Structures are given as structure tokens and as C-alpha cells.
């Protein structure tokens, strides 16, 4: 891909230089007394969006479509991309509109006539998965094609953040980016089950055994988005905490699918009531370590437990909580975290109904956030919804400020 590097020259940025007062508002035009020296050294935007996943894409596109906001979009690098959840959503099946049936129906209508009979039947038989990375790639392409005059795509990861001059400075790969507003959308990472496989007589604890199944959507991570796939099909929940017990009960109540909870050698830590309900629902609890996964090409057949027992299931649901919330930048900028008492790198960033953190001008959206008054919903709908709320709040603030400047320039009312 032909990634754009940010160009900090005045010639590139129509908001700098001669005549900027008649052009759309830019923080630089009112904050910096001598933008010409500043802008030679740093790239300057109204807004920096950090994160090239679902929430970051939704934020960048919405800001681009508001036209007057100059956006720097830090998409992340190879390492952050690999650990992003958007990379692993193989087939979105819980959303209206994001479905291959729409395109297939349109194509089928345009392939009329006997000469296209084979193409029509191939279309009718096929299923084109729409993955989260397809959405991200499509958004990046759209931004590059249609909005490159106002959005600068930067394919690096922000490593440091600080407050400066009423705005923020982010650093990534030795470059410095400044903006009045920042939207963080850096996501989370799920904790993976470690499976003790035998390698030449030595037990190796390894999560990678699970990945072919996760890629094939036979090992699942989101009951809200993927739970319906298990309807009536034997499913094991992998976990040992209250969350695992709750998810097993929900699978049973909604889909009659949970048949066991595999604690993988850990002591179960759920409540007595949950124990009684699991028993009443006929959900077996197996405490033995998992030593193998049986299946072919990602089709799950069984989990093998120490001692040789085979738990025959077609789905596994991972319920181990979070390995990381990528909250480092939010912490550096002094934003309050949710989940008091949890390890600091597993704590979500606290936001309000607009996606605003407790640090003025700093917003956070997507899987990394929590509101005090709502359950967490780690799903695409919610990531997009809050991205749009945050951009609307930023847009309103920029326009309000611009009106104030315009009124001041017009002078007092007669």
C-alpha cells in the first residue's frame, strides 16, 4: 500500500500560511502565535485518531466527512495490528447490513440471461465472509481515495503522549504529532487458554493450538456476536471464574448448547448459586488440564483432557477475561480508569456518554472503554456508535470555538 507520510509543510496544509483566517478553523490558527516555526518541526492537526481497528475507522471516516476537521490517523504498526481484535473477526454475522446476501442479490439481478446461469448458481451457493479487517481495509481505501486532503494516514504506533499548549502531543517512530483533540481507539487483547501439549516428553504450555479454530470460528470469544452460531450444538466454555459460569448458563438458556465448562487445571471460583445452576442445567465442570485439541482444518471435534478423557464438542467459547487493555496513552494523559482493584493494564478507560474521558479534549472509544452506568459491550455496533458520538462532540466544540472567533472578529453588537 502506498501509505502517505504526514507532510508538515505549509504548502501541503491549506490551513497554514497566507489567508488562513478566511479558511476553515484550525487550532493552529488561533493557538500558535508563530505557526510557521512550529509547523516546520511537527505535524499539526485538529484531531488525532489513534487506532486502525473498527472504532478508529469509524471515528476517522466520520471526522473526514465533516470536512472542516483536519485529522491525523495513526493506524498502528505491524505489532499492534497483529494483536488487534479486528484482525481476528473472520465472519461478521450479528449485524444488519454487513452481510454478503446484499451484494449477492444485487449481482444476481445484474447477471440476467442464460449465458450467466452458471455464475448465478455459483453466487447462490457461495458465502463471502465479511471480516472486520475487510471493513477496516475498505475504510482506509475510502479515506485515501476521497478524503486525503483532510486526513493524513500514518502507519505507526503512538508510543508516548503528553499534554501541551491546551492540546496533545503524540510521538510515534521519532515523529511528533500535535492536535487539540485526541480519540484513542487502541483496543484490548483477550486472555487465551494455554494448552499443555507434549513435545518429546516435555509439556509445553501454548496458546497457538487454539488459533486455527479461532480463525475458523469454532473457538469463539463473543457470546453477544457469535453465541447464536452454537444453537443446539455441543459447546464447551473455557474458563474458571464467575464470567465463565455466567456465559455457560447464558449459552444453555439461550441456545441449549453449553455442555461443559473446562477449567483447564484451575480451581473454579464462581459462586455457590452458579454451581447449583450449572448442575441443574446439566453442564459438567471438568477441572483437568486440557492437553490437546482434536479437529481438522479448524473444524473442532474434541478437547482432550489430562488422563485421556475426550470432551466431544463442535464449539469452544473462551471466557478467561482480558489479557490487556491498551490504556497506556490514556494513563500518560491522566485519564481516569474504570475497574478499581484490577491490575492496571487490565483496566478500561472511563468515559461518559459522549466518549469523553476525564481529561478534557481526550476521548476514548471501542473495546478499551467502560461507562460507569452501562455494561460493557465489546462489539462492532458499540465501537462505531461511540466513535460517532465522540466525533460529534469534537465537531461541536470546534464549530463553537470558530463561531466565537468569528463573533470576536465582527466586534460588539450595535
Ligand X SMILES: Cc1cc2nc3c(=O)[nH]c(=O)nc-3n(C[C@H](O)[C@H](O)[C@H](O)COP(=O)(O)OP(=O)(O)OC[C@H]3O[C@@H](n4cnc5c(N)ncnc54)[C@H](O)[C@@H]3O)c2cc1C
Joined grid coordinates for residue 381:
455496533
Of 13-21, 90-98, 111-119, 330-338, the window that binds ligand X (rule: CB under 6 A) is 90-98
Strands 315-318 and 219-220: parallel
Which of 73, 226, 227, 364 binds ligand X (CB under 6 A)? It is 226
Asked if residue 313 binds ligand X (CB under 6 A), the reply is: no
Asked if residue 214 binds ligand X (CB under 6 A), the reply is: yes
Which of 6, 35, 56, 239 binds ligand X (CB under 6 A)? It is 56
Of 5-13, 81-89, 101-109, 243-251, the window that binds ligand X (rule: CB under 6 A) is 81-89
Are 160 and 170 in contact by the 8 Å Cβ rule? The answer is: yes
Q: Nearest 10 degrees: CA dihedral of 217, 220, 226, 229?
A: 60
Binding mask 153-192 for ligand X (x = CB under 6 A): ----xx--------------------------xxx--x--
Asked if residue 81 binds ligand X (CB under 6 A), the reply is: yes
In angstroms, what is the minimal distance from the CB of 107 to ligand X?
A: 23
Alpha-carbon radius of gyration of the chain: 25
- Centre a 10 Å sphere on the Cβ of residue 379 and count the other Cβ atoms it contains: 18
Closest CA to 273 of 295, 242, 307: 242
CB of 95 or CB of 302, closer to ligand X: 95
Asked if residue 43 binds ligand X (CB under 6 A), the reply is: no
Asked if residue 50 binds ligand X (CB under 6 A), the reply is: yes
CB of 222 or CB of 268, closer to ligand X: 222
In angstroms, what is the minimal distance from the CB of 158 to ligand X?
A: 4
Residues 149, 64: Cα–Cα separation, whole Å:
9
Which of the residues 333 through 392 are near ligand X (CB under 6 A)?
A: 366-367, 378-380, 383
Which of 48, 89, 236, 391 binds ligand X (CB under 6 A)? It is 89
Residues 351, 31: Cα–Cα separation, whole Å:
27
Size of the site for ligand X (CB under 6 A): 38
- Provide φ and ψ at 9, rounded to 5°: -75, 150
Asked if residue 326 binds ligand X (CB under 6 A), the reply is: yes
Q: Nearest 10 degrees: CA dihedral of 173, 176, 177, 178?
A: 150
CB of 305 or CB of 383, closer to ligand X: 383
Which of 42, 66, 68, 88 binds ligand X (CB under 6 A)? It is 88
Q: What Å distances lie between residue 155 and 167, 318, 341, 410, 414, CA to CA?
A: 22, 31, 35, 42, 51
Q: What Å distances lie between residue 361 and 124, 138, 355, CA to CA?
A: 49, 28, 11
User: What does the binding site for ligand X look like in residue numbers (CB under 6 A)?
Assistant: 50-56, 74, 76, 80-81, 84-86, 88-89, 92-94, 132, 157-158, 185-187, 190, 214, 221-222, 225-226, 326, 366-367, 378-380, 383
Amino acid at each position: 500500500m502506498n501509505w502517505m507520510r504526514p507532510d508538515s509543510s505549509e504548502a501541503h496544509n491549506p490551513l497554514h500560511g497566507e489567508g488562513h483566517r478566511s479558511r476553515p478553523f484550525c487550532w493552529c490558527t488561533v493557538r500558535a502565535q508563530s505557526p510557521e516555526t512550529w509547523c516546520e518541526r511537527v505535524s499539526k492537526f485538529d484531531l488525532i485518531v489513534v487506532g486502525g481497528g473498527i472504532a478508529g475507522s469509524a471515528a476517522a471516516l466520520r471526522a473526514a466527512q465533516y470536512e472542516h476537521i483536519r485529522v491525523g490517523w495513526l493506524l498502528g504498526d505491524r505489532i499492534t495490528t497483529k494483536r488487534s481484535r479486528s484482525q481476528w473477526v473472520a465472519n461478521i454475522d450479528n449485524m444488519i447490513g454487513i452481510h454478503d446476501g446484499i451484494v449477492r442479490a444485487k449481482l444476481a439481478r445484474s447477471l440476467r440471461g442464460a449465458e450467466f446461469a452458471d455464475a448465478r448458481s455459483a453466487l447462490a451457493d457461495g458465502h463471502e465472509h465479511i471480516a472486520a479487517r475487510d471493513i477496516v481495509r475498505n475504510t482506509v481505501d475510502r479515506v485515501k481515495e476521497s478524503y486525503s486532503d483532510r486526513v493524513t494516514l500514518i502507519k505507526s504506533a503512538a508510543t508516548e503522549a503528553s499534554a501541551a499548549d491546551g492540546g496533545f502531543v503524540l510521538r510515534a517512530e521519532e515523529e511528533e504529532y500535535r492536535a487539540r483533540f485526541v480519540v484513542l481507539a487502541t483496543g484490548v487483547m483477550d486472555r487465551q487458554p494455554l494448552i499443555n501439549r507434549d513435545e518429546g516428553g516435555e509439556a509445553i504450555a501454548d496458546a497457538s493450538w487454539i488459533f486455527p479454530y479461532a480463525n475458523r470460528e469454532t473457538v469463539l470469544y463473543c457470546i453477544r456476536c457469535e453465541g447464536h452460531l452454537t444453537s443446539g450444538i455441543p459447546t464447551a466454555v473455557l474458563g474458571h471464574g464467575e464470567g465463565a459460569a455466567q456465559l455457560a448458563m447464558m449459552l444453555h438458556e439461550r441456545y441449549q448448547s453449553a455442555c461443559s465448562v473446562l477449567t483447564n487445571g484451575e480451581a473454579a471460583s464462581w459462586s455457590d448459586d452458579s454451581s447449583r445452576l450449572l448442575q441443574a442445567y446439566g453442564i459438567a465442570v471438568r477441572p483437568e488440564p486440557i492437553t490437546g485439541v482434536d479437529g481438522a482444518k479448524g473444524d473442532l471435534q474434541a478437547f482432550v483432557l489430562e488422563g485421556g478423557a475426550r470432551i466431544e464438542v463442535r464449539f469452544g467459547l473462551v471466557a478467561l477475561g482480558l489479557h490487556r487493555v491498551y490504556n497506556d496513552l490514556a494513563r500518560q494523559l491522566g485519564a481516569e480508569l474504570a475497574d478499581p482493584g484490577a491490575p492496571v493494564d487490565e483496566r478500561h478507560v472511563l468515559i461518559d456518554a459522549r466518549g469523553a474521558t476525564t481529561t478534557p479534549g481526550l476521548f476514548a472509544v471501542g473495546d478499551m472503554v467502560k461507562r460507569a452506568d452501562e455494561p460493557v459491550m465489546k462489539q462492532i455496533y458499540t465501537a462505531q456508535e461511540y466513535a460517532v458520538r465522540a466525533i460529534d462532540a469534537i465537531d461541536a466544540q470546534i464549530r463553537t470555538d470558530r463561531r466565537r472567533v468569528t463573533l470576536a472578529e465582527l466586534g460588539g453588537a450595535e
